Structure formats: C-alpha cells, structure tokens
A and B are shown apart, each in its own frame.
Chain A
Amino acid sequence: MSRPVQYNTNLKPAVIPEGYAGEGYFSTTFDKIVELGRKNSLWPLPFATSCCGIEFMATMASHYDLGRFGAERLGFTPRQCDVLLVAGTISKKLGPVLRQVYLQMAEPRWVIAMGACACTGGIFDSYSVLQGIDQIIPVDIYVPGCPPRPEGLIDGVLKLQELVQGESLRRRNNPVYQQLMESYGIQ
C-alpha cells in the first residue's frame, strides 16, 4: 500500500549528559551513565492477560515497533526484567500470581498498568475482578484506555523513561520508596 513518505524533522536525539569530552574520550559521573543506560534499554515483562495483551502485541509488531524506544527485548522471566507491564484484567484469583511475579523481579523495577482493567478494574466491577492492581503492587505509570491505543502505550513507556532518568541510582534506599514498599507489605 502506497503511503506518502514523511520524514520526521522533529527528531530529538538522546541528550548527552554533562561531562568533559575530548579527542576519543568522554567522562561524566557514573549515575548519569547508568541513568542513560537504564532509560534507553528497558526490558519489559509482558504480563498480558487479555485484550490489552493483543494491543501490546500490535505495539511490539512491525507497525508501531516499540523497539524504536529501546524496549523491544521482552524478557519472559521476572528475574531479568525492569518493567512489569501488566496488560489486562487481573482477577482476584490471579492477584497472588502477579504479586509473586513482582516480588521475583530485581531492583530497580517499575510497573506499567496498561488499560482500564489494570488501572481500576475497568468496566468489570464484579466479585471476581481486582479493582486495580495498585491494591497489591505499587504502580509507576497508568495508561488509560480500554484498551489503550499502541500510541498510548508508547507514550506510557516514554513517560516511564522520564521517570527512570530522574531517579537516583539506588532508589530502594530512598525513605519514600521504602515507606511505599512497607505500605504494600513488601520487604
């Protein structure tokens, strides 16, 4: 199918952190390099249960290609992943499983709640559905929509990148973070 080719002239390359540069070397502080690396190479763990999972597939596939933002490497084991991408309804029966998966992830770990169901339970206000995953695990980014469009998810990932960039190297030592974890009963 022929489409008019449009070149994006508003490209924003990754911002080079402050530092000293010279012939063949560049030096900056360690945390900035780690930030840069973490931000541009997020490994998502797709916890895809239902409809949102299909939109997530579309986001990963050729048309939208999440790989452009450095997040194409899906890890299917929680031990290796940075981002828990919860896409779809989480029922009360699945809740403990989700929590288990979250606990298995190593720090630093972030959570994206994709879609209305993961955010709030969505249209399923019923006895069997967990009314938002933030009841059992902390969530960093909420992507609304039922399901969100792939663009929405990409926006969510970009927002997460901002968050990742702004975070200190050892976020788990942060008292606010520790308090948050404590409120969920997570050590």
Chain B
Amino acid sequence: MTNEIIQQKLTEVFGEQLTGWETPYDMLTFTAPRDKNIEVLRFMRSEGMGFNFLTDLTAVHYPDRKDEELCVVYLLNNMVERVRVRMKVYLPVSNPDIDSATPVFATANWLEREAYDFFGVNFVGHPNLIRIMNPEEMDYFPMRKEFPMEDPTRKDKDDAMFGRG
C-alpha cells in the first residue's frame, strides 16, 4: 500500500473534501474539514484501509493564520503495511470545537486531554475533558504562542541580560 493508493482511496470516498495533499519526508499528509474528522478516521480504521493504530494526536498553534489558528494533527499507523499517514484539521481559536476521536480510538483519551490542556482544543463528546498535566486551577492554555515559557513569579532574572528584553 503506497501513498498514492491511499490518496486515491481517500479521494474516491471523500472527493474534494480532503485538501492539502503533500508528502513531506515520505509521509502522506492531508487536511480534513473539521466536521468530517471522525468519518475519515472511521474510514481509515475500516477493513480496507487497516489503519488501526493511532500513533499520536497533538495540536499546533499558528497565531498568524486567520480562522485556522489551531491545527489538530492525527498520526495513524498501518502496522501490517508499515505505512503512516498524517491527518490535519484546522480550527479557529475563537471556536475550537472538534469531535472527539475517543469513540474510534481509546488512545485518543489522554492525548485529547493533553491537547486541551496545552492548546484549549475543545473535543466535543470526550468522556472526561479536564486538564491532565497542569493543575485544574490554571486559567490559560500555556502552549499557545502568546504565553511565556518562563515562570512569571521568578524575580531574580532580568530579561535584558538574556537578550529577551
């Protein structure tokens, strides 16, 4: 099963809905519309495609892209054919709702909680969407680009001395 065949099979079913086809460093990558993500995942998992392993799920923040600031990335693995595929879904940061992948892959549970914790992606239908790494009292999503890395309570560091002034 090569990247071309996968792309062909996917376009047969979903047609023009899947966009952004590319193969950076030999990994097939495409973008799905945000209301179709579960449908695509289910199709990928089905008998004919055999991508029954969700290797990874994460999010990326692109503050400069208007209305698609957040990107949820799914990485699927077909263990038998030894192929990996990457699926992206873009969301606006003002309305970061996306259907949860937990009904399709149990793995998605904590990965989605992590993406919520770091980026504030709201996975609709997730059984327990609470923060996983940070304390629940936290009131921001730290991995978004606008938030600083450093501990804000630290007083002994002068930013100017570190070239960050």
Which of B133, B135, B150 touches A125 (beta carbons < 8 Å)? B150
A127 and B151 contacting across the interface, CB-CB below 8 Å: yes
Determine whether the beta carbon of B135 is less than 8 Å from that of A131.
no
- Contact A131–B133 (Cβ < 8 Å): no
Contact B134 A125 (CB under 8 A): no
State whether the Cβ of B48 lies closer than 8 Å to any Cβ in chain A.
no
In the complex, A128 has a CB within 8 A of chain B: yes
The reply on B165 being an interface residue by CB < 8 A is no
Q: A131 touching B134 by the CB < 8 A rule? A: no
Say yes or no: is B65 at the interface (Cβ < 8 Å to chain A): no
A 123-176 contacts with B by CB, 8 A? 125-129, 131
Count, chain B residues at interface, CB 8 A: 13
Instruction: Please tell me if A92 contacts chain B, counting CB pairs below 8 Å.
Output: yes
Is residue A93 within 8 Å, beta carbon to beta carbon, of the partner chain? yes
A116-127: CB near B (< 8 Å → 1, else 0) gives: 000001000111
Interface of B is mostly: loop
Q: Which of A92, A93, A127 contacts B150 (CB 8 A)?
A: A127
Chain A residues within 8 Å of B161, by CB: none
Contact of B134 with A128 in the complex, beta carbons under 8 Å: yes
Rounded to whole angstroms, the CA-CA distance of A57 and B94 in the bound complex is 48
Question: Nearest residue in A to B150 (C-beta to C-beta)?
Answer: A125
Partner of B135, one of A93, A121, A129: A93
Cα distance A128–B148 in the bound complex, in angstroms: 11
User: Which chain B residues (110-165) contact chain A, with CB distance < 8 Å?
Assistant: 133-135, 142, 147-154, 157
In the assembled complex, how far is the CB of residue B114 from the closest CB belonging to chain A, in whole angstroms?
A: 13
Closest chain B CB from A111 CB (angstroms): 21
- Interface pair A93/B151, CB less than 8 Å apart: no
Q: State how many angstroms separate the Cβ of B131 from the closest Cβ of chain A.
A: 10
CA distance A72 to B71 in the complex (A): 51
**Complex Cα distance A127/B147, Å?**
10
* Given A125-B154, A127-B142, A127-B147: 6 more A-B contacts, CB < 8 Å: A93-B135, A121-B151, A125-B151, A127-B148, A128-B142, A129-B151
Q: Which residues of B pack against A, CB within 8 Å?
A: 133-135, 142, 147-154, 157
CB within 8 Å of B: which residues of A?
92-93, 121, 125-129, 131
Closest 10 CB pairs of A and B: A93-B135, A131-B154, A125-B150, A127-B142, A126-B149, A131-B151, A127-B151, A125-B151, A128-B134, A126-B151
* 16 contacting pairs across A/B (C-beta < 8 A): A92-B135, A93-B134, A93-B135, A125-B149, A125-B151, A125-B154, A126-B149, A126-B150, A127-B147, A127-B152, A128-B133, A128-B134, A128-B142, A129-B151, A131-B151, A131-B154
